[in-house]
A and B are shown apart, each in its own frame.
Chain A
């Protein structure tokens, strides 16, 4: 039956009513329920929503259930034949890998419950992950279940239903015309356009394809490419190479606009290795020294040795990044001036042939000498990392500097490129293929569009790309596509997860399988091969690129698994099985290439290599911290995640510094205040018109302190028009499409004109919801200050009411050290030989409680411990967060969201301060005064408005700090005493339980919480209606309804499951026992979702009653402090104050010798 009955031919069967109802005419008729001008509700609550709400209200009023009887008609559907290893209710874990930016794989362990993949976690065995994870992989689970994913293949502009076989037949038909031609002429007009891929199987298939059709060309394209890196390494080594950093070994790190902790290949591993060098452990050092010398070490000795672990980080960048948060020294610099800076530094380091340019800003000049001296002092233990987007010249200079400081082969190694790249020096047939991808992806892509426009292409097969949205604007890819469509019999195939912008202009669309639905293989950042293992059968029957290629080549096996196995046929069955289980094949990492850097200073003047400094205002395009290049834009988790540092959600914006905002006269009268950036998180801003080389875009402005002056940063990945209901809702779009401005004339940075328009825009800034004002929530010191006074974090300026009881529960005190079997470092100072000496700062304190503190002693031999106490207390769960390691990336927030069924609320609700994240990341700015304790300088809030206006304009002096804030699980929780229905109460092991079924929604608890960590379901946020999203819910956690309060539970489901596993082994001799003979939960058996995800390892969780617990070491550190501890809440979550490692020489120069 024809879809449109008006086109019915005489012999077609008579169209029925259904067909008529499917016709566009009928739908037009039905679109408006009321004829024109009939009143409709303009309110956001639609009439339909109102009716359903009132129906729900009636149902509630009648007691939810029309019958008194419980619903007893739930069905249980067992298997017909139960597969091996499946125990209903016990999740399974599978190793797989996610191909990310650049096609580089991140090894994952994915949790699967009853056949549903639920949560991605890092794979400890995978070299790129080491058990940690990033935002993209965490959010990919939501992509899998996205109801807006393309569900079927289509053909033609009318999107008629098609099948996989139809699609393959169409491609085969286009290739069939070559059958009569000699092999050498086959493939004319055929182009493959894919994202860069490291998959050995895809590469092998492409090689066979190109061998069969030699005139065909494979172009790899990605909006955020590694082209410049390949250019620079090619110039230095003769062929493109892939850098692998070893940050464990790096004492000094200089980042040239590289966000090496969150973006790019190996970032997750970088972050973990880097995090290990940002923490100070006096307890561990004490242990080590005592063990080594057999003597009780001196306090200074311990402290000096402990801070020796710290590395030193210099960051030069315009837009504050995760690396900028970690930095000891941060230099805001225009991106186009970065090359001059690198040149000047190279000249300072006497790199041959480089002369210092004269036009650097004064501050940058001051940096050079101390920085160069520090790098030289740490020869072989320092590294310079240049951002992959920086000009080839900058990266070449970074290579030369790395050579000069003896970093190559030590802190940075180089391997063969991960992606398919033609390498003339390497053997193998693929390098003789004309169509094999070139190393300059952009040039190849340009060539492709030229060929398309010239009508030379009639068969374009695209996979995993969306060039109509993200190609450089000046290449006019849309016109090129039109040109292909005008050829005689065009085949334009789009293979992707969504029916996106590009798919809409193609005559064939094939829905792709998500990586969690497919077999495949991928290389990690060091070349290690992992198998991508499916966790679920394709939800919408999607196909992989491997299957598409195999079908086009008419190869057997036609399935992905068969093809992948074929690629790795050399592996015997056992190796294959082991590799599959482990998530990586041992020994497949590329061997580091031993090559010397050949540095030719003449290249620096080459226009293709170098970027000229832009004198006026410039714009830089960077991938968004959350949605990256826009592929994952239709992901509610990523959209709602408050972006690192800016805390912006559901938008991108033109970021400018306060001084630049003054110059542009936008946000007039702007005074930055961390806690009031708009009413409850809705910040009204100006809309500006940006013009780059005649291309125009209107975008909202966001004023960001610490941003470099005269630069506008605009993130990519927004302004999608065809992605799904999240990123491109009807008649609206989320954010501003930076690709409309971005051309080949400036992929990273370009000159821009900015004109303020009369338009206004609301940005949702989540960070303003819960600020703790001037209560010194964030504490930090320099390394020297810490050695001088290791207790610096303990003294709050507001009220010094730290009592014995408080100290007993907030470790770092003699009692706790004794429990660890250690001596308190201060014990010697007091000279009494009394190791149990109480160390209390304020002698005037009085106990704040009438009652004895909780019985905390578990070891019966300690004084005061009673056997029955030990039996009562069991475990005391606690968390510690090292602020020195936190880079503010947001992985904890997202991991928590995935684990705990936290709903997405939408931009409007974020405006109202109703974001639901259980762990938020607060961001603070400080301006330290030289010579003073950094922490004393906290107090931007106390300074008068006028002074603050001046302070926030000092981009170069501002330090950025980030602090994750989950529920503190206070022992004396203020929320508990005010709940009228006892819906939040304490458990014996110290959890502040939240009982959803008791909660009546008074919100008193949230009012009384000094940390503002409680979240309320103002509306029905959890999605009860979308079938595919129901599959994503963690079955171990209640899905909350409207009117219920919720908050961080310390992942109570994980605790309880571990507890049950331990307790049920009470009579198993293999289960370790505690001192009371009870089954013990081993340290590390309970890992919270945030702790598991945190890429730097800044979060620790464990049982304070377990002397062997890792957390006790952190809790016993002298720089442990509790948030708002003066409120006598006795928080179980504590923080380690950040210890920074600034360079005294640089401090001296910056402050003109006025002391550091």
Chain B
């Protein structure tokens, strides 16, 4: 019987052998990419809400402070969801009759709360605390993304543990001065602020006024603020019981 494959196919066979590890590696990479993809993590997935509340309008265009609605963010684990009363503070005066606000008026008059759909879900065994993050200088935008550009809010990060640890291992990547925490547009490059010494103390001039300094990038600012804000070491921040109880 004649050979099925001509001799020249040997080369093809050898090259194909090489392809096996390549394929395996490619598969691995694809899988890793897949689990981090928006499809799997649910990021960038817009969910309908009982009221089409636009953060883009309220935050981006009107410039309402985050804390106006999320009142507990500085002193509780939960940022707090605004009660219907908060909506009505303004909307009793403006847009009183807008159709889009009917559920809010309805809730307010009948005393039945609005059930919003939660966007940022962490597992039940993970205890995230808003207050410690904002009090130490982690900006809202670091976890929630450009809220000021979202009509309906979506999750913009993976919310994976590796993503949490990324910052817990190197908090300097996301630290900013306390009064810039709610700033949606903050960049460290060009930021003028007090200069800190190696111990994290503010450097003062001969009159006792803080010496100002223009920071070049996030890393420079972050490392200075890490000392100044007394951020704990990664050896502590990555302990299991910091988030899991």
List the one stretch of B59-67, B121-129, B181-189 in contact with chain A.
B121-129
**How far is it, in angstroms, between the C-alpha of A74 and the C-alpha of B81 when the chains are bound?**
14
Interface of A, secondary structure class, is loop
Closest chain B CB from A951 CB (angstroms)? 45
Q: Which A residues touch B5, using CB under 8 A?
A: none
Q: Interface readout for B105-145 with A: 1 if CB under 8 Å, 0 if not?
A: 00110011111111101011111010110011000000000
Assess the B136–A1063 pair: CB atoms within 8 A.
Answer: yes
Assess the A80–B112 pair: CB atoms within 8 A.
Answer: yes
Assess the A985–B240 pair: CB atoms within 8 A.
Answer: yes
Q: Which of B76, B229, B240 has the most CB of A within 10 A?
A: B240
Q: Which B residues touch A1053, using CB under 8 A?
A: 127, 245
Q: Which B residues touch A871, using CB under 8 A?
A: 233
Closest chain B CB from A851 CB (angstroms)? 16
Q: Interface readout for B30-47 with A: 1 if CB under 8 Å, 0 if not?
A: 000000000111100101
Assess the A87–B81 pair: CB atoms within 8 A.
Answer: no
**How far is it, in angstroms, between the C-alpha of A1073 and the C-alpha of B88 when the chains are bound?**
43
Q: Which B residues touch A77, using CB under 8 A?
A: 113-116
Select B119's contact among A72, A988, A1066, A1067, beta carbons within 8 Å.
A72
Q: Does B239 contact A (CB under 8 A)?
A: yes
By beta carbon, the residue of chain A nearest B119 is A72
Assess the B132–A1064 pair: CB atoms within 8 A.
Answer: yes
Assess the A76–B118 pair: CB atoms within 8 A.
Answer: yes
**How far is it, in angstroms, between the C-alpha of A532 and the C-alpha of B42 when the chains are bound?**
48
**How far is it, in angstroms, between the C-alpha of A1065 and the C-alpha of B124 when the chains are bound?**
27
Q: Which B residues touch A1038, using CB under 8 A?
A: 124-125, 244-245
**How far is it, in angstroms, between the C-alpha of A884 and the C-alpha of B47 when the chains are bound?**
61
Assess the A79–B236 pair: CB atoms within 8 A.
Answer: no
Select B40's contact among A69, A81, A995, beta carbons within 8 Å.
A69
Q: Which B residues touch A989, using CB under 8 A?
A: 236, 239
Q: Which A residues touch B78, using CB under 8 A?
A: 88-89
Assess the A81–B84 pair: CB atoms within 8 A.
Answer: yes
Assess the A71–B121 pair: CB atoms within 8 A.
Answer: yes
**How far is it, in angstroms, between the C-alpha of A81 and the C-alpha of B114 when the chains are bound?**
11
Q: Interface readout for A938-950 with B: 1 if CB under 8 Å, 0 if not?
A: 0000000000000
Assess the B129–A78 pair: CB atoms within 8 A.
Answer: no
Select A74's contact among B113, B121, B178, B242, beta carbons within 8 Å.
B121
**How far is it, in angstroms, between the C-alpha of A995 and the C-alpha of B119 when the chains are bound?**
25
Q: Which A residues touch B169, using CB under 8 A?
A: none
Q: Does B27 contact A (CB under 8 A)?
A: no
Q: Which of B219-243 contact A (CB under 8 A)?
A: 229-230, 232-233, 235-236, 239-242
Q: Does B214 contact A (CB under 8 A)?
A: no
Q: Does A1078 contact B (CB under 8 A)?
A: yes
Q: Does B192 contact A (CB under 8 A)?
A: no
**How far is it, in angstroms, between the C-alpha of A846 and the C-alpha of B233 when the chains are bound?**
33
**How far is it, in angstroms, between the C-alpha of A453 and the C-alpha of B7 when the chains are bound?**
113
Q: Does B80 contact A (CB under 8 A)?
A: yes
Q: Which A residues touch B178, using CB under 8 A?
A: 1067
Assess the B123–A997 pair: CB atoms within 8 A.
Answer: yes
Q: Which B residues touch A507, using CB under 8 A?
A: none
Q: Does B83 contact A (CB under 8 A)?
A: yes
Q: Which A residues touch B71, using CB under 8 A?
A: 87
Closest chain A CB from B146 CB (angstroms)? 19
Closest chain B CB from A1064 CB (angstroms)? 4
**How far is it, in angstroms, between the C-alpha of A299 and the C-alpha of B240 when the chains are bound?**
45
Q: Which A residues touch B77, using CB under 8 A?
A: 89-90
Q: Which A residues touch B75, using CB under 8 A?
A: 87, 90, 1064
By beta carbon, the residue of chain B nearest A83 is B83
**How far is it, in angstroms, between the C-alpha of A1049 and the C-alpha of B244 when the chains are bound?**
11
Number of A-B contacts (CB under 8 A): 155
Q: Does A843 contact B (CB under 8 A)?
A: no
Q: Interface readout for A79-113 with B: 1 if CB under 8 Å, 0 if not?
A: 11110000111100000000000000000000000
Q: Does A50 contact B (CB under 8 A)?
A: no
Assess the A74–B117 pair: CB atoms within 8 A.
Answer: yes
Q: Which of B78, B111, B245 has the most CB of A within 10 A?
A: B245
Q: Which A residues touch B76, using CB under 8 A?
A: 87-90
Q: Does B82 contact A (CB under 8 A)?
A: yes
Q: Does A654 contact B (CB under 8 A)?
A: no
**How far is it, in angstroms, between the C-alpha of A988 and the C-alpha of B234 when the chains are bound?**
10
Assess the B241–A991 pair: CB atoms within 8 A.
Answer: yes
**How far is it, in angstroms, between the C-alpha of A74 and the C-alpha of B77 when the chains are bound?**
18
CB-CB under 8 A for A78 and B81, given A68-B40, A72-B118, A87-B75:
yes
Q: Does A728 contact B (CB under 8 A)?
A: no
Q: Which A residues touch B211, using CB under 8 A?
A: none
Q: Does A490 contact B (CB under 8 A)?
A: no
**How far is it, in angstroms, between the C-alpha of A71 and the C-alpha of B159 when the chains are bound?**
13
Assess the A1064–B230 pair: CB atoms within 8 A.
Answer: no
Assess the B132–A1060 pair: CB atoms within 8 A.
Answer: yes
Closest chain B CB from A61 CB (angstroms)? 19
Assess the B84–A993 pair: CB atoms within 8 A.
Answer: no
**How far is it, in angstroms, between the C-alpha of A76 and the C-alpha of B42 when the chains are bound?**
18
Q: Does A1036 contact B (CB under 8 A)?
A: yes
CB-CB under 8 A for A72 and B42, given A78-B114, A987-B239, A997-B123:
yes
Q: Which of B178-228 contact A (CB under 8 A)?
A: 178
Closest chain A CB from B138 CB (angstroms)? 12
Assess the A997–B80 pair: CB atoms within 8 A.
Answer: no
Q: Which B residues touch A993, using CB under 8 A?
A: 239-241, 244
Q: Which B residues touch A1052, using CB under 8 A?
A: 241, 245
**How far is it, in angstroms, between the C-alpha of A1064 and the C-alpha of B135 when the chains are bound?**
5
Q: Does B150 contact A (CB under 8 A)?
A: no
Q: Interface readout for A898-911 with B: 1 if CB under 8 Å, 0 if not?
A: 00000000000000
Closest chain A CB from B164 CB (angstroms)? 13
A-B contact pairs, 20 of them (CB 8 A): A68-B39, A69-B42, A70-B121, A72-B119, A73-B47, A74-B121, A77-B116, A80-B112, A81-B83, A82-B83, A87-B71, A90-B72, A872-B235, A874-B236, A991-B239, A1036-B127, A1039-B124, A1053-B127, A1064-B136, A1066-B136
Residues of B bordering A, CB below 8 Å: 39-42, 45, 47, 71-72, 75-78, 80-85, 107-108, 111-119, 121, 123-127, 129, 131-132, 135-136, 155, 178, 229-230, 232-233, 235-236, 239-242, 244-245
Top-5 shortest CB links A-B: A1064-B135, A89-B78, A78-B81, A987-B239, A79-B83
Q: Please name 6 further chain A to chain B contacts, defined as beta carbons within 8 Å, in addition to the given A79-B84, A989-B236, A1049-B245, sorted by A numbering.
A: A79-B113, A80-B112, A995-B244, A1037-B245, A1056-B245, A1067-B178
